[in-house]
Amino acid sequence: MKALVTLGAVSALVAGSCAALNSTAGALLSSGNVDLGEYEVAYGKAKAFVAQLTNSQKVSIITGSSFNGTNTTWTALTNKDGFAGINNQYYVSGFTMGNALTQTWDRDHMYAIAKASGREFYLMGYNLVNGPVVGPLGRTPWGGRQPEAFSPDPYLSGITLARTVKGMNSAGIVTAGRHFLLNEQETNRTSPYSSNADDKTIHELYLWPFADGTRAGMGAVMCGMTQVNGTLSCESSDLISGLLKEELGFPGLVLPDVNGQTTSYQSANAGLDFGSSSYWTTAILEAGIANGTFTQARLDDMAVRNVIGYYFAGLDNGEQPSEADTTEYRSVRAGHAKLIRKVGADSLSLLKNNNTNGGGLPLNTPMVVSVFGAHAGPCLVGPNQAFTVEGSSGDIYQGHLASATGSGQLSFSYLATPFQALSLRAAADGTMFRWIMNDTYTSSSSSSMSGGGGGSMPSTSGNSTDSSGSSSGNSSSSMSTGGGGGGDALSNLGTGTSVTPSFAAYAEDSDVCLVFLNAFSGEGADRGELYNADQDTLVNTIADSCNNTVVVINTVGPRLVDQWIEHENVTALLYGGMLGQESGNAIVDVLYGDVNPSGKLINTIAKNETDYPVEICETAQCNFTEGVHIDYRYFDANNITVRYPFGHGLSYTTFEYGSVSASKSNGTALSSTYPTGKMTLGGYADLFDEVISVTLSVANSGAVAGTEVVQLYVAYPAAAQQPIRQLRGFEKIQLAVNASSTVDFSVRRRDISHWDVTAQQWAIASGTYTFSVGSSSRDLRGSATLVI
Ligand SMILES: *[C@@H]1O[C@H](CO)[C@@H](O)[C@H](O)[C@H]1NC(C)=O
Ligand SMILES: *[C@@H]1O[C@H](CO)[C@@H](O)[C@H](O)[C@H]1NC(C)=O
Ligand SMILES: *[C@@H]1O[C@H](CO)[C@@H](O)[C@H](O)[C@H]1NC(C)=O
Ligand SMILES: *[C@@H]1O[C@H](CO)[C@@H](O)[C@H](O)[C@H]1NC(C)=O
Ligand SMILES: *[C@@H]1O[C@H](CO)[C@@H](O)[C@H](O)[C@H]1NC(C)=O
Ligand SMILES: *[C@@H]1O[C@H](CO)[C@@H](O)[C@H](O)[C@H]1NC(C)=O
Ligand SMILES: *[C@@H]1O[C@H](CO)[C@@H](O)[C@H](O)[C@H]1NC(C)=O
Ligand SMILES: *[C@@H]1O[C@H](CO)[C@@H](O)[C@H](O)[C@H]1NC(C)=O
Ligand SMILES: *[C@@H]1O[C@H](CO)[C@@H](O)[C@H](O)[C@H]1NC(C)=O
Ligand SMILES: *[C@@H]1O[C@H](CO)[C@@H](O)[C@H](O)[C@H]1NC(C)=O
Ligand SMILES: *[C@@H]1O[C@H](CO)[C@@H](O)[C@H](O)[C@H]1NC(C)=O
Ligand SMILES: *[C@@H]1O[C@H](CO)[C@@H](O)[C@H](O)[C@H]1NC(C)=O
């Protein structure tokens, strides 16, 4: 969003309609309905501060202005776009983006990246960050904003949100989790369309992560531009006061995305806490208070909610730096590059690996390496070319892609590409290294090739006495390959390495062919395709001539691979998201085995785009008729064969799973259908209590040290009306060769609850629950059952 700078410029004044003008009294912090837990101290300070203010000072706060009163001063929070780095700023880091960070399935990495990024925001003088993103959740694989977000699985998204909120909070940042709610696509977002979902779907899917974020101390939430059930998200009392503030006990401020606010009273009564100085003047709000259209209690609540995060993040210590100019140098990056490289490498998923005949990964000092595709090297202009999907640039980026576009776009001060990292590797290994960094290159040579496999004798058509002096490959010559060191040195004079540059010639003459592909998108437009014809032709062309073709993909969302994945010469596929500034180094660390891959898919790669249940909605009413059945929930329910399931990812070693046992940790708690605890941050407190524990042992049965993400999937009794299985736990464990470790999953009350629409409460169904543990959602190695 870029809303805050434009808020004051909105000129039209639209008074609230007469309907639903009541603020929901239960959503006021002063109602005492919510035990504020770790926000209690901040609330006390916020309330005391606001108590001294005039209404006009309160209006300044809620419209983003500063003031100097007689005894009180307030400096508006400095709001900034970004999450994985500061949008539009010099001398900052480009961190691992949301989709790649989630693909690590590593809670420590999630925290560390958010903390490091938050530290840079803080030092540059920003304290209210528009992120992290859990909406879109990932209803459709075409959704353009998926790279900023986490995963279509709400459990995984929720944990990622909680860890990143904690990381940013620890750096003194107020996080604005966005976009609330059902903001699943970019198409028509400004029209705006209406997302219509039923109560069960909202609770079990889209609202779920916001509960984790609230519990973790998220101080702000940004409501979306879109409508929900026909009402703008930012003006929907059901959404903001009902679900977010009353049901999740959210204590902070709700701020609008661009154009999210169109009214004075309806927005304020619905629960919007921060808004436009056109809609909210002292005169307007006091008139509303005078005739009962608005309340003083709500105005006070709005002011308190605007400052509570400031106190919670410790910003009242008077030490935070002033806001930097965009081009101002400040030393903020510390050792962040090293962290970005490590997290990037740990996020990559090895989806296929065939080591037959010495092929596949990891690479072991190959003699001849060729690299193909625009994604291998830098684009012609960079690193901060203002690229956008809102133009006509298509879904492919003509250079190495390590960031998405729009308000989440990273501000690279440099970008390490695979080409750069591979060149250094080749130099160290004594490798013959070639490249064609274009997806559709056609050689100007009309020569036919006679070489292959590394080292045939020079062809007799070569003119050994032609010494033009050129040291680069001459594409108009018809020299055969000299790769592998064969041949008479004199015969190659003037022909470089003798291989005519063409896809086939380079491929044929290589021990390994690395093909780099990307797919890009970002704020403002959705994806137009889930695969790309030029790139798929490129892979097939290379694989036809190279029996060890390794494909590397960096993508914003699911990228289909069925056009070539079964080609016998495609020996490996390494797959990841937007890795940030150290992208090339991270990829090459995994290719060469310095890092053993441990990333797991955060969504499903189908065989065909028609297999996915939800496309982009192009009508004014977007009905979420698929309910909770998105991504693997849908594929499982419909028994559809997929290419790679949610949670899949291989390692250079293998893991052996022991037998699974499950036991009740709290039988008393389980005897109650509904939660009985107090309402606190995130919902009823006991929803977060462990009720079941699941245990097994996992061993490294291969030849190298490795890291496995052990996943827990739960199947509910039929009465709960749930998907076939759902992720409800994951643990990432590092194991030396022959080592084994006990893995314990702590299953919380909410992890076995379903939303009871009649009772309007989370309920535990009676019956048999199955707890399956595996290496992916479709590679379950063992299970245990419990009757509850
Ligand atoms: C406000 O709420 C009260 C109590 O629930 C109700 O009686 C009243 O009609 C509501 N007013 C409006 C304008 O909705
Ligand atoms: C408040 O006073 C400080 C210190 O004199 C000054 O820097 C700041 O600009 C003032 N703010 C406003 C909104 O007048
Ligand atoms: C400012 O503080 C002084 C001293 O505590 C007090 O007498 C005065 O009433 C305060 N003024 C306002 C506007 O609150
Ligand atoms: C939207 O409408 C559906 C269907 O009437 C209802 O189940 C759901 O609770 C509504 N949600 C919101 C936030 O208004
Ligand atoms: C209250 O006053 C505001 C501002 O003049 C006006 O827009 C609104 O219609 C009034 N509402 C009622 C119920 O009188
Ligand atoms: C691995 O590659 C070999 C040689 O091309 C092939 O015969 C075999 O079928 C491949 N294995 C798998 C699992 O694809
Ligand atoms: C590729 O072909 C070469 C030459 O026939 C052979 O030595 C090598 O083992 C093959 N590699 C793979 C991975 O099949
Ligand atoms: C790739 O090569 C094609 C010709 O095959 C050319 O049209 C295109 O501009 C090249 N792209 C880049 C990024 O150089
Ligand atoms: C090789 O180059 C020499 C000198 O330019 C020329 O006389 C001769 O015809 C060439 N031979 C061939 C096979 O092209
Ligand atoms: C695999 O690569 C070899 C070259 O090493 C080639 O001869 C063969 O035709 C390729 N296989 C296919 C199916 O294209
Ligand atoms: C998907 O399936 C349709 C219908 O069978 C087919 O026409 C299309 O080529 C397939 N797409 C891909 C990417 O395989
Ligand atoms: C939504 O977008 C589509 C495609 O851009 C367009 O044809 C359609 O008119 C839009 N619908 C609305 C309600 O704006």
Report residue 16 as tokens.
């609230």
Q: How far is CA 511 from CA 98, 366, 370, 454, 583, in A?
A: 35, 6, 8, 8, 24
> Would you say residue 633 has pLDDT above 50?
yes
pLDDT, position 182: 98
DSSP 489: G
Residues 581 and 413 sit within 8 Å (Cβ to Cβ): yes
Q: What's the CA-to-centroid distance between 130 and ligand 12, angstroms?
A: 27
The pLDDT assigned to 138 comes to 98
Mean pLDDT of 374-399: 78
Nearest CA to ligand 3 atom 7: 71
The closest residue, in CA terms, to atom 12 on ligand 10 is: 544
Question: Residue 376 pLDDT more than 50?
Answer: yes
Which amino acid does the sequence have at 231? T
Q: For position 460, what pLDDT does the model report?
A: 32
Q: Which of the 8 DSSP states describes residue 522?
A: B
- Structural tokens at position 265: 């009273």
Find the residues whose C-beta lies inside 6 A of ligand 10: 544-545, 547, 568-569
Distance 297 CA to ligand 1 centre (A): 15
Ligand 9 pocket check for 465: Cβ under 6 Å: yes
Burial (Cβ within 10 Å: 0-12, 13-18, ≥19) of residue 319:
exposed
For the record, the structure tokens of 510 come out as 């290589």
Burial of 118 (0-12, 13-18, 19+ CB in 10 A): buried
Report CA(569)–ligand 10 centroid distance (Å).
6
The mean-pLDDT minimum among 287-296, 395-404, 585-594, 774-783 falls in: 395-404
The superfamily in CATH containing domain 653-787 is: Immunoglobulins (2.60.40.10)
Whether the predicted pLDDT of 592 surpasses 80 = yes
Q: Rounded mean pLDDT of 334-349?
A: 98
Atom of ligand 1 nearest to the CA of 18: 13
What pLDDT score does 87 carry? Answer: 93
The binding-site residues of ligand 3, defined as CB within 6 angstroms of any ligand atom, are 52, 70-71
What integer best gives the mean pLDDT of the chain? 91
Q: What pLDDT score does 386 carry?
A: 61
Give the residues surrounding ligand 8 with Cβ less than 6 Å away. Answer: 374, 398, 438, 440-442
pLDDT of residue 24: 76
Q: From CA 35, how far away is CA 683, in angstroms rounded?
A: 10
Q: To test ligand 2's pocket by mutation, which of 61, 68, 78 has the most ligand atoms within 8 angstroms of CB?
A: 68
Parallel/antiparallel/unpaired status of strands 683-684 and 679-680: antiparallel
Active-site annotation holds for 779: no
| CB-based contact 772:745 (threshold 8 Å) | no
Which of the following CATH numbers is that of domain 374-383+400-604: 3.40.50.12780, 2.40.50.140, 3.40.50.1700, 3.90.550.10? 3.40.50.1700
**DSSP-derived 3-state class of residue 656:** strand
pLDDT one-digit tens code per residue, 743-759: 999 999 999 999 999 99
Give the atom of ligand 7 at the shortest distance from the alpha carbon of 453: 4
Instruction: Pull the structure tokens for residue 344.
Output: 């990037």
The yes-or-no verdict on residue 455 having pLDDT over 80 is no
The residue among 504, 495, 477, 423 whose CA lies nearest residue 487 is 495
| Overall average pLDDT of the 689-712 stretch | 98
Confidence class for position 389, pLDDT limits 50, 70, 90? low
pLDDT band at 446 (very low <50, low <70, confident <90, very high): very low
CB 471 within 8 A of CB 496: yes
CB 530 within 8 A of CB 140: no
What is the 562 CA–ligand 11 centroid distance (Å)? 10
Q: Is there a common fold for 374-383+400-604 and 653-787?
A: no
More reliable by pLDDT, 156 or 398: 156
Beta bridge partners of 662: 694
- Pick the atom of ligand 2 nearest to 67's CA: 13
**Sign of the CA dihedral 334, 338, 342, 344?**
positive
- CB of 463 shorter than 6 A to ligand 9: yes
As a whole number of angstroms, the distance between CA 782 and CA 702 comes to 20
Confidence at 4, pLDDT banded by 50, 70, 90 = very low
Among the bound ligands, name the one nearest to the CA of residue 69. Answer: 3
CA angle 62, 68, 73 (to 5 degrees): 70
Range 254-270 average pLDDT: 97
Residue 11 has a pLDDT of 28
Quote the distance between the C-alpha of residue 642 and its chain's center. 22
Q: What's the pLDDT score for residue 498?
A: 77
Helix, coil or strand: residue 349 = strand
CB 172, CB 313: distance < 8 Å? yes
Per-residue pLDDT tens over the stretch 198-232: 999 999 999 999 999 999 999 999 999 999 999 99
Q: Which is catalytic among the residues 81, 106, 212, 257?
A: 257
CB-defined site of ligand 2, < 6 Å: 66-68, 73
Q: In the predicted model, is pLDDT for residue 674 greater than 50?
A: yes
pLDDT in tens, 18-60: 333 445 788 999 999 999 999 999 999 999 999 999 999 999 9
Q: How far from 707 is each of 282, 543, 649, CA to CA, in Å?
A: 58, 30, 11
pLDDT band at 390 (very low <50, low <70, confident <90, very high): low
pLDDT of residue 385: 66
What is the residue with the minimal CA distance to atom 13 of ligand 11? 608
pLDDT of residue 522: 87
Q: How far is the CA of 276 from the centre of ligand 2 (A)?
A: 22
Query: What pLDDT does residue 476 have?
Result: 35
Model pLDDT, residue 383: 83
Distance of CA 553 to the CA centre of its chain: 16
Going through 276-353 in order, the beta strands assigned E by DSSP cover 349-353
Coil vs helix vs strand at 539: helix
Q: For residue 490, count other CB atoms closer than 10 A to its CB.
A: 10
pLDDT for res 671: 96
Ligand 4 in reach of 198 Cβ (< 6 A): yes
Whether 323 has a pLDDT exceeding 60, the answer reads yes
User: Across-strand partners of 436?
Assistant: 372
- The whole-number pLDDT of residue 192 equals 82
Q: Strands 227-228 and 194-196: what pairing?
A: parallel
pLDDT score recorded for residue 470: 33
Ligand 8 centroid vs 583 CA: distance in angstroms? Answer: 23
80 three-state secondary structure: strand
**Is 477's pLDDT higher than 70?**
no
Does 74 sit in the ligand 11 pocket, CB within 6 Å? no
- Summarize pLDDT for 151-176 with one digit per residue, the tens: 999 999 999 999 999 999 999 999 99
Q: How confident is the model at residue 381 (pLDDT cuts 50, 70, 90)?
A: confident
Q: Report the atom number in ligand 11 closest to the C-alpha of 560.
A: 13
Residue 443 has pLDDT above 80, yes or no: no
In the structure, what pLDDT confidence band is assigned to residue 767 with cuts at 50, 70 and 90? very high
Ligand 6 first shell, C-beta below 6 A: 354, 356-357, 568
pLDDT tens digit sequence for 71-128? 899 999 999 999 999 999 999 999 999 999 999 999 999 999 999 999 999 999 999 9
Paired residues of 86 in beta bridges: 82
Beta carbons within 8 Å of 572's beta carbon, 6+ residues apart: 350, 352, 353, 354, 359, 360, 361, 550, 551
Which DSSP letter does residue 658 get? -
Contact by Cβ (8 Å): 320, 127: yes
* pLDDT greater at residue 524 or residue 510: 510
- How many CA atoms does the CB half-sphere of 211 hold within 13 Å? 26
User: What separation in Å is there between the alpha carbon of 34 and the centre of ligand 1?
Assistant: 22
Six-digit token pair at 605? 């790669």
* Distance separating alpha carbons of residues 732 and 698, to the nearest angstrom: 11
For the chain, what are the domain ranges?
39-76+281-316, 374-383+400-604, 653-787
- For ligand 5, residues with CB inside 6 Å are 15, 287-288, 291, 293
In angstroms, the CA 518 to CA 387 distance is 15
Question: What is the share, in percent, of the chain residues with pLDDT greater than 90?
Answer: 85
Q: In this structure, is the dihedral angle defined by the CA atoms of residues 452, 455, 461 and 466, taken in order, positive or negative?
A: positive
Q: Which atom of ligand 3 is nearest to the CA of 71?
A: 1
